[in-house]
Amino acid sequence: MSAEPLLELCSVYKSYDQPVLRGIDLTVRAGEFVTLLGPSGCGKTTILRIIAGLLAPDRGQVRLGGRDITAAPPEKRDVNTVFQSYALFPHMTVAQNVAYALKLRGVDRRQIDARVTRMLALVQMTGSEKKKPDQLSGGQRQRIAIARALIAEPKVLLLDEPLGALDLQLRRQMQLELKKLQQELGTSFVYVTHDQEEAINMSDRIVVLRAGRIEQQGTPDEIYDRPRTGYVATFIGSANLLAGQCDGRGLAAHPAGAMVCPADLPAGPVTLAVRGENILLHTQAPQGPSLAGRVASKRFLGGQLRVEVALTGGDRVVLLRQGIRLEAETGSPVWLSWPASAAVAVQTEGEAPAGEAGR
């Protein structure tokens, strides 16, 4: 991965009746797999369409390989898209669909055939050349859509929630295949999804979007371990947000007791995000800082034990454990603590940002 940005969005704004994008600054480097993650309506698809040229920004620039392409029409951009609905041309065969981009560029017949064959092999669809899209299953169509978009070797491939229409099993399989494909080809991928699982499994970098703005971006580790806002913390994985008063020396006061927090945090009100799998449960009050409460419920969900604890003072905390046994009964008093590294200070609505600045 070179350090030179391949694709840049600078201060991109877009509104319809309401603002959709409020100042997006994004860079994608060569060979990177970047995911735009966020709920519907956050603007991620809009960003994609602006990159592709299907939509013009109200303000801002799009640069590819250093060149300003903001005004360039989609056919002149070295960027290709895999559409959510696949958009395979129904009146063309698979081979014709895949070959289309090359045909437009005037590549000669034999070269086209060779490259189409290679591409189909790459997406494991060899032998389907003469079929029509309506004869393929959803997963198969998706592969053809990918093949069609990659054959012209674009600098960046845009993918708009491509796995959304597939069933779980197939989705998981495709996640692996897509990642492999990207690494093999070395093409930059900009991937749009609302599914955090996909984002974490495939991305080199995740950009979390919210209401038209970038909330945070970083590697999956960074996003997961060091969320900067409550939104990011709860969007990926499950996190508990606890408000307390920090004393500036690694401890924060809470109605239910005391919490360990990052040592470098200044004194003052703070919201800590702690992931359920990092919380330790004690059946007796431990030595260090802890929060007291009662076990409210325990449920086996998604392969893990989900324990809900009602803290003194009203807050509820969710713990995640392996296995199905819990050492405490429902209703019995328990104490919760966690290692210092597990707590991250996050910004919630209206608060000043906490933690490291910069991207």
Partner 1 sequence: MARKPRLPARLYLILVVVLTYLPIAVVVLFSFNSSKLPVAWKGFTLDWYRQLFRDRALMQALGNSLLLGVASSFFAAVIGTLGAMGMVRVHYRSKGMMEYLSTLPIMLPEIILGMVFMAFFALLRLPFGWTTLILAHTAFSIPYVYLMVKARLSGIDRSLEEAARDLGAGPARTFFDITLPLIVPAVLSGSLLAFAMSFDDVVISIFVTGPTLSTLPIKVYTHLKTGVTPEINALCTVILGVVVLVLTLSFLLRTRREGSHPSNKEEVP
Partner 2 sequence: MKKDRSWLLLAPMYAFTLVFVLGPVIYMAAVSLAHHTAAGFTWQLSLENFRKMADPVYLQCFRQSLLLAFLTTVICVGVGYPFGYIMARLSPRGKRAMMLLIMIPFWTSSLIRLYGWQILLQARGPLNGALLALGIVSKPVKILYTYPAVLIGMVYALLPFMQLAVYNSVEKLDWTLVEAARDLGAGPVRAFLTVTLKLTLPGLMSGVILTFVPSMGLFFISDLLGGNKIVLVGSLIQDQLTRGSNWPFAAALALVLAVITTLLLALYRRVTHTAELEVMF
Question: Any contact of residue 71 with partner 2 (CB under 8 A)?
Answer: no
Question: Any contact of residue 72 with partner 2 (CB under 8 A)?
Answer: no
Interface with partner 1 (CB under 8 A), residue from 10, 54, 318, 342: 54
1/56 with CB nearer partner 2: 56
Question: Any contact of residue 134 with partner 1 (CB under 8 A)?
Answer: yes
Binds 230, which of partner 2, partner 1, none (CB < 5 to 8 A, cut-off by type)?
Answer: none
88/317 with CB nearer partner 1: 88
Interface with partner 2 (CB under 8 A), residue from 25, 58, 68, 73: 73
Q: Which of 12, 28, 9 is nearest to 20 (CA)?
A: 12
Interface with partner 2 (CB under 8 A), residue from 10, 30, 54, 241: 54
Q: For residues 6 and 28, give the distance between their C-alpha atoms in angstroms, rounded to a whole number.
A: 6
Least separation in angstroms between residue 326's CB and partner 2 is 43
Q: Choose the binding region for partner 1 from 51-59, 60-68, 213-221, 259-267 (rule: CB under 8 A).
A: 51-59
75/184 with CB nearer partner 2: 75
Question: Any contact of residue 85 with partner 1 (CB under 8 A)?
Answer: yes
101/346 with CB nearer partner 1: 101
Question: Any contact of residue 90 with partner 1 (CB under 8 A)?
Answer: yes
Is there a contact between 13 and 58 (Cβ–Cβ < 8 Å)? Answer: yes
Question: Any contact of residue 74 with partner 1 (CB under 8 A)?
Answer: yes
Binds 56, which of partner 1, partner 2, none (CB < 5 to 8 A, cut-off by type)?
Answer: partner 2
Q: Which of 185, 182, 187, 216 is nearest to 202 (CA)?
A: 182
Q: Which of 233, 203, 236, 228 is nearest to 32 (CA)?
A: 203
Q: Which residues bind partner 2 (CB under 8 A)?
A: 54, 56, 73-74
Q: Which residues bind partner 1 (CB under 8 A)?
A: 52-54, 73-75, 79-81, 83-85, 87, 89-91, 100-101, 104-105, 132-134, 148-149, 152
